[in-house]
């Protein structure tokens, strides 16, 4: 009985991952111009020391950060700047940007 419960729990835990949009780094590069204005080309050299470097961050982290800015759950010094920047991004746009920046150095 416990094995069945564990198996069901694990199966349900993977459902969000299965519904996750697959990111396309090439498409993300084409969508990254607005991001690059502050975070630098490829997200590698932010224009301000308080702006995060996006290049090389994990895909999951970038996607999480953008989604929490979009929902305005994410707070902090730069949150007010980020809210309008991400409002019109679709889940696919977010996945593509995350895929792109995670592949940059």
Q: Is the pLDDT of residue 13 over 90?
A: no
Q: Is the pLDDT of residue 43 over 50?
A: yes
Residue ranges of domains in the chain, CATH in brackets: 23-103 (1.10.760.10)
74 phi and psi angles, rounded to 5 deg: -80, 130
45 phi and psi angles, rounded to 5 deg: -140, 85
Given this model, what pLDDT does residue 16 score?
Answer: 47
pLDDT in tens, 64-89: 999 999 999 999 989 999 999 999 99
| Residue 20: pLDDT band with limits 50, 70, 90 | low
Percent of the chain with pLDDT over 90: 77
| Residue 69 and residue 86 in contact, taking contact as beta carbons nearer than 8 Å | yes
Of 13 and 96, the structure prediction assigns the larger pLDDT to: 96
């Amino acid at each position: 009985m416990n094995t069945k419960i564990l198996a069901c729990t694990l199966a349900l835990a993977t459902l969000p991952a299965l519904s996750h949009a697959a990111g396309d780094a090439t498409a993300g590069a084409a969508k990254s111009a607005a991001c690059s204005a502050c975070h630098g080309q490829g997200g590698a050299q932010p224009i301000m020391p308080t702006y995060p470097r996006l290049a090389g961050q994990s895909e999951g982290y970038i996607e999480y950060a953008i989604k929490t800015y979009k929902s305005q759950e994410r707070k902090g010094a730069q949150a007010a700047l980020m809210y309008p920047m991400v409002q019109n991004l679709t889940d696919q746009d977010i996945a593509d940007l995350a895929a792109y920046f995670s592949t940059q150095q």
